[in-house]
Amino acid sequence: MIYRSKHLNSCESKEYTKRTIIYNLYRGRLLAALLLVCEGILSVLRYFFNYKYYYSYEGQNYLNFYIRAYGLFALFCAIYLILLRNLKKFKHMPLEKLDKYDFLFTLFLTIVLIWGAMVSLTDQIKFTHLTSYFIYSTLCSVFFSLDSTHWLIPNFISLSFLFTMLPRFQGNINVLISHTLNLSFFTLIIYLTSQVVYKRYFGEYLSRLLLEKSNTQLRLEAVQKNIINKQLSELNEKLLKLSHIDELTNIPNRRGFWEHINDLLDMYEEGFTLTVLMCDIDYFKQYNDNYGHLQGDEVLKKITNEIYNCRLSEEDFVTRWGGEEILFTCCNQSPEKISFLANYIQNRVRALQIEHKYSPCEKIVTVSIGVHTMWVKNRGDIEECIQKSDEALYKAKKMGRNCCVYYEN
């Protein structure tokens, strides 16, 4: 227990105790089955081949003793196997309920060692050796994972029985002294061996536990890393979106416009027809000066949203170009559709009926539009198209605004 407490906390120690009990019960069942078979074979061999040695010795019928002892031991092993017929349930059993099975295992070890002692005592009749006890004691010490307590209890009981009964079966004082010395030395060696086996078992368990902790920690770190990466990815997407979106009107800005244009240039490698409608809110400065910039921002958002809703296809693109200028671009459209689109935009803005008492055009907010269409293959062509639509817009302003002007060479 002291050895465990240096490496395990209370919860881990309980789990280790539970696993060790189950481990010993599994191996105990295996040993009981092996002993049941082996002792059955030995009893038959002793009866048929050693009959003359055991039938009568100093007036005692030791053969009957052997047969009875083998029968009782076989019965005990069979009962032990029946009690442990369903070991799967132990995995889900709390430690408190496993205590009685731990006691049963200790009792099993004690009976096995006493049985070995009894066989060694009867072997004194003709062979004067303790081989059987040595074999059983060694087998129990190395076959199971036994801490000091689990090893000492069965060994102390069996050794006490053996030392007490040995003088009755062995009358030669020299042999008796030799057995005592051999048993003492053997007991020390086998105890140390059992503790080496136990610590090795504990070391393997500790290694598995540390590996599980490491794997768990790695999985947690991997999950945390994935969460962080996902959050960073989402933040990057948001930042990228924000860098391409105008903060006030919530439509693409110039950076967003050029990203869209690059996509179009990749799509139409041979070039395409681009139409630029440069829209400008009429007398917007006068609106801001008289109604206030906050009210002006609200008007700009409403106008922008209305123009944005005038898109006729997915390739139509609306951009806040700067100030009150809004760029509407479309691809591969006929002149008739362009004319319809320009009028549609102006009518949608007028339909908002936003009051503008300081506008010389009308007493509502209106827009002027400059339009140019040309074949484009690169960014230079697109910049030229925008410049010419801006020139058309300038002409529209000179003509009194609230109109649409097409660029002419």
| Assigned domain for 364 exists | yes
Name which of 153, 134, 151 is nearest 198 in CA terms.
151
* Whether residue 311 sits in one domain with residue 189: no
| Assigned domain for 247 exists | no
- Domain carrying residue 304: 254-406
| Assigned domain for 402 exists | yes
Predicted confidence at residue 60, as pLDDT, reads: 47
Predicted confidence at residue 409, as pLDDT, reads: 65
Report the 10 Å Cβ neighbour count for 29. Answer: 19
Instruction: Name residue 320's beta-bridge partners.
Output: 326
Taking each helix axis from N to C end, the angle separating 254-267 and 173-244, rounded to the nearest 10 degrees, works out to 100
| Assigned domain for 228 exists | no
* Whether residue 124 sits in one domain with residue 13: yes
* Whether residue 210 sits in one domain with residue 69: yes
Predicted confidence at residue 58, as pLDDT, reads: 47
* Whether residue 172 sits in one domain with residue 26: yes
* Whether residue 212 sits in one domain with residue 264: no
Cβ-count burial of 81 within 10 angstroms (0-12 exposed, 13-18 middle, 19+ buried)? Answer: middle
| Assigned domain for 241 exists | no
* Whether residue 263 sits in one domain with residue 163: no
* Whether residue 210 sits in one domain with residue 258: no
* Whether residue 327 sits in one domain with residue 210: no
* Whether residue 66 sits in one domain with residue 180: yes
Three-state DSSP at 85 gives coil
Predicted confidence at residue 6, as pLDDT, reads: 58
* Whether residue 297 sits in one domain with residue 183: no
| Assigned domain for 288 exists | yes
- Total domain count for the chain? 2
Predicted confidence at residue 59, as pLDDT, reads: 40
CATH number where 373 lies = 3.30.70.270
Predicted confidence at residue 397, as pLDDT, reads: 92
* Whether residue 21 sits in one domain with residue 88: yes
Domain boundary among 167, 194, 218: 218
| Mean pLDDT, 10 residues at a time, the chain of 409 residues | 58 83 89 83 65 46 64 84 79 79 90 89 80 90 90 93 89 88 92 91 85 82 86 78 81 90 90 94 93 93 93 89 92 92 94 93 93 94 94 93 89
Predicted confidence at residue 395, as pLDDT, reads: 95
Domain boundary among 162, 195, 218: 218
Give me the amino acid identity at 262: N
| Assigned domain for 225 exists | no
Predicted confidence at residue 385, as pLDDT, reads: 95
| Assigned domain for 233 exists | no
Which strand (E) or helix (H) includes residue 405?
strand 404-406
Contact in structure between 350 and 366 (CB atoms under 8 Å): yes
Predicted confidence at residue 50, as pLDDT, reads: 55
* Whether residue 265 sits in one domain with residue 147: no
Instruction: Name residue 267's beta-bridge partners.
Output: none
